[in-house]
Amino acid sequence: MRVRSAAAVRRFGGSSLSAHVLVLDADDGIGTWMRDALLDAGLACQIVRDPGEANSSLDVQRPSLVVVPVDQVQRWAGLLAHLSEVTTGVPVLGAVSRDAPLDFTAALALGVTDLVTYPCSTEDLVVRVASTMRGRRSDRVPERVEPASPLATLRSVTEAAEKALLRTETAAARVARSEERDHLRAARDTLAHSLQVILSTMIGNTEASGHGREGHARLAATLGHDLTVALGWPAARVRGMELAAMFADIGLLSIPGAVLAVDGPLTEQTFELVRAHPETSAEILEPLSRVGVPVAAVRSHHERLDGSGYPRGLRGRQVPFGAQVLAVVDTYSAMVQPRPHRQALAPEAALAVLLQEVEANRLSGRVVELMHEVVESRRRASVSRGNGKGGMAVRCVGNSAHERSASVPIPTDRAV
């Protein structure tokens, strides 16, 4: 492994990578393995477990790279702030477990500039560290460039990811040795998780921008998970639906948040853009179909059983069952959060609206019935934790084109 790791460094110009790597790990966890792997590859590396010790290290030697477990970033916030004060251009590589939640907005706000997923091979770690150091930010002020739109950025990222996923799958099918196939499949899974992290981070940043959508993706993902578990689906399919619920509205990034945050009816032009977002979301998420995300469900999650939905006006059995699940999750998540054009509904009132949608033949009665059970289970769990509120202790935002009910004062031409 030493030979392979050293070779990985050489591929990125190892002769210029003798700079210092500082690994932060207060829990004596993944940091030890990282330090040993980097030392074995010939990189100068130091691990520290105490903020005071780390500050002293910064005063003695400026690192070229800082590595920190993402779940410890809050504990190292003071050090990261100190790092930005004493030097500029030092990248911070966050180490994140493949099983961790996908919302890294807080970590990025505290200074993490890149992510590496573990478990991974020693060589993969060294390659990521080496490439991050080679791409170290310059202290010079860069020339002004026009920023790419979020949608253009997402499309370029997902197109590159899809090509890489295809290459790893093709290579895995061709190699004869089982060890090599396992390595390539692990690389595919790591790549897919990295793409999920990127998408989640962009959603988190967008929802946190103050346009009345904060928390929707996370709640929708949680409800999507709980609802598919209640349906008795296998773990892999549950995970796919959880991701689909989280990313279903990512196509809304094509619309400026301020346009969606108006407190009255949307313009016809804006409404047409909203109606296009399921197709845009499906296009962005297509690479993740290779790892179990039901892209067809995302494309149809605003369709309704009576044919009144969009973008294609499907009806009845034409609407995939996964899309019917996402429709219930998305509609409920949207209603229990205040929007610029209306008040939030209490969980009980939102459930009542879902029943009215069933009676109007727009939503699945089976799925809505299970949603009642999921919400009640979450309410009981919340009460048992001692919060004393007797209701769901979760706030969310989101998007639903069918928040229509005589008991809900929501304009019928509002889609978000």
Amino acid identity of 315? R
What is the pLDDT at residue 225? Answer: 93
What is the pLDDT at residue 269? Answer: 81
Q: pLDDT (tens digit, 9 = 90+) per residue, 9-56?
A: 444 444 334 457 889 998 878 888 888 888 888 888 889 888 877 777
In which region does residue 121 sit, left (phi positive, over 0), alpha (psi from -120 to 50) or beta (all else)? beta
Task: Give 45-90 as a DSSP string.
Answer: EEEE-SHHHHHHHHHH---SEEEEEGGGGGGGHHHHHHHHHH-SS-
Token pair listed for 355: 């029943």
Cα–Cα distances in angstroms (integers) from residue 12 to residues 1, 8, 39, 185, in the given order: 17, 7, 16, 24
For the chain, the average pLDDT equals 75
Q: Where in the chain is the domain with CATH 3.40.50.2300?
A: 2-134
Considering the entire predicted model, what is its pTM? 0.59
Q: pLDDT (tens digit, 9 = 90+) per residue, 71-80?
A: 888 888 888 8
103 pLDDT band, cuts 50/70/90, is: low
Q: pLDDT (tens digit, 9 = 90+) per residue, 227-274?
A: 999 999 998 899 889 989 988 988 887 777 677 777 777 778 878 888
Burial class (CB in 10 A: 0-12, 13-18, 19+), 354: buried
Q: Number of C-alpha atoms within 13 angstroms, CB side, residue 216? A: 35
Task: Determine the average pLDDT of the residues in 99-121.
Answer: 73
Please state which architecture CATH assigns to domain 210-384. Answer: Orthogonal Bundle (1.10)
Task: Give 309-350 as a DSSP string.
Answer: -SSS---GGGS-HHHHHHHHHHHHHHHTS-BTTBPPPPHHHH
pLDDT tops 70 at residue 391: no
Q: Where in the chain is the domain with CATH 1.10.3210.10?
A: 210-384
| CATH topology assigned to domain 2-134 | Rossmann fold (3.40.50)
Distance CA 51, CA 26 (A): 9
Task: Determine the average pLDDT of the residues in 181-209.
Answer: 67
Backbone angles phi, psi at 92, to 5 degrees: -120, 115
What does DSSP say about strands 65-69 and 114-118: parallel, antiparallel, or unpaired? Answer: unpaired
8 touches 127 (CB < 8 A): yes
Distance CA 17, CA 185 (A): 29
